[in-house]
Structure 1
């Protein structure tokens, strides 16, 4: 199955949470903060008012409480509006 976003929506796959702090302390899964960095999996066509500025494969930072979580074929995705994407990581 494949997710095809509509309008100005973008499908993201969240990057893995850090398992260690910079000082080397190993975090339990409950203590790990969900990263707000993700990879763009699919991009909608946009609308007359919104030109799509991200493309498949981009790494992005998105708003903390943005989007809808979707589970498909055992994988978890987040569907967000392009306006919820704050930056592209280069």
Structure 2
């Protein structure tokens, strides 16, 4: 099934948090918080301004983003847990530095 969000909405897949802390301590599943990072899976066409003109969304599929803890609506599509949220609920896009790209 393919899902296309409407207006200024985006579909986000949560990115799992690290299982260990920076100090090497293993964090159990019941102590982990829901991650507030995700990857954009689908993007709507954009919203409309007062004049009725389409304003495009600044996000694109594949962007890694930060969003609020309680942002969006959780849905399950084809066995995947996804979030549908407005573009305004997203706080920013995470940029991967060149050094990390080369290391990966």
TM, length-normalised to structure 2: 0.82
Check conservation: 1:62, 1:85, Cα contact below 8 A. yes
Within 5 A, what are the aligned runs for 1:1-12? 1-12=1-12
Deviation (angstroms), 1:62: 0.8
The 2-side partners of 1:17 and 1:23 are apart by 15
Following TM superposition, the consecutive aligned residue runs of length 4 or more in structure 1 with deviations greater than 3 angstroms are none
Count of aligned residue pairs for this structure pair: 90
Within 5 A, what are the aligned runs for 1:4-83? 4-49=4-49, 50-83=55-88
Identify unmatched segments of 5+ residues in structure 2: 50-54, 96-104
The 2-side partners of 1:59 and 1:81 are apart by 15
The 1-side partners of 2:5 and 2:41 are apart by 10
| Match in the other structure for 1:88 | 93
Check conservation: 1:52, 1:82, Cα contact below 8 A. yes
Q: Which has the larger radius of gyration?
A: 2
Deviation (angstroms), 1:7: 0.5
Identify unmatched segments of 5+ residues in structure 1: none
Higher helix share: 2
Larger RCO, structure (CA 8 Å, separation 6 or more): 1
TM, length-normalised to structure 1: 0.94
